[in-house]
Structure formats: C-alpha cells, structure tokens
C-alpha cells in the first residue's frame, strides 16, 4: 500500500481533523461546487463553535440532536460539531414538518 499513511493511532475523526488542522491548516478540507472551499483551520474552528454552542445550551453526551440542514459544507461542519458533543441524527430537510419525518413522531421536536 504505497502512499497510504497509517491513521490507526488516531482515536477519532475529531483527532484526525485536529491533526490535519495543525499540520496543513490552509489545505482544503471540504469543497462544494459554487461555494468557497473550507480549509482545515476553518473547519476545526467552526466545529469548536458548534461544540461550544451546544455546551452553552446544556446539550451533552447523552443527548440527541436532529439536524435538518440542506446538503453542503454547513451540514458537514454542523454534523461534525454535534457528533463531537452528542448523538447526531441528520434528517431530510425536504419534509414539511417534524410529524412527516420517520422516527421523530412522538418526540419533543420543534418545527
């Protein structure tokens, strides 16, 4: 396997992103057509912002957070931040209400 690095020493995706941010901060981490690229430095900064916001809201490891953000860099950043702090469930944002979403009916969801 020439050219492949052994990443088994990283404990999680979060650790890998921190390492990449320290090693190559200006490299592109997320690219999407028609959108400015997100560097590793910006990605880890935004992930930390999400984690801090959730912590300030009292959301922790045993909580569940559903995301209804359209596909794109914002979804990726938010998913990584939420997953670092709590259980994350990305949902299809095209559903018109929480009652149409499979698995959400009967929960304490907010439209």
Q: Which of 31-35, 56-60, 84-88, 100-104 has the lowest mean pLDDT?
A: 100-104
Can you give the pLDDT at residue 111? 44
Please tell me the predicted confidence (pLDDT) of residue 49: 96
- The pLDDT of residue 32 is above 80: yes
Contact in structure between 81 and 44 (CB atoms under 8 Å): no
How would you class 36 by CB atoms within 10 Å of its CB: exposed for 0-12, middle for 13-18, buried for 19 or more?
A: exposed
User: Tokens for 49?
Assistant: 């912002």
**Residue 67 dihedral angles phi and psi, to the nearest 5°:** -110, 135
pTM attached to this predicted model = 0.72
Domains and CATH numbers, the chain: 13-95 (3.40.50.980)
Q: What is the tens place of the pLDDT at every residue in 66-80?
A: 988 888 899 999 999
Distance (Å, rounded) from C-alpha 42 to C-alpha 23?
13
């Amino acid at each position: 396997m020439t050219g492949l690095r052994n990443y088994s020493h990283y404990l999680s995706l979060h650790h890998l992103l921190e390492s990449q941010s320290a090693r190559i901060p200006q490299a592109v981490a997320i690219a999407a057509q028609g959108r400015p690229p997100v560097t590793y430095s910006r990605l880890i900064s935004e992930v930390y912002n999400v984690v801090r916001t959730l912590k300030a809201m009292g959301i922790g490891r045993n909580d569940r957070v559903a995301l209804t953000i359209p596909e794109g860099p914002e979804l990726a950043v938010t998913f990584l931040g939420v997953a670092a702090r709590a259980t994350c469930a990305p949902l299809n944002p095209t559903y018109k209400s929480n009652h149409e979403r499979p698995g959400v009916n009967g929960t304490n969801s907010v439209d």
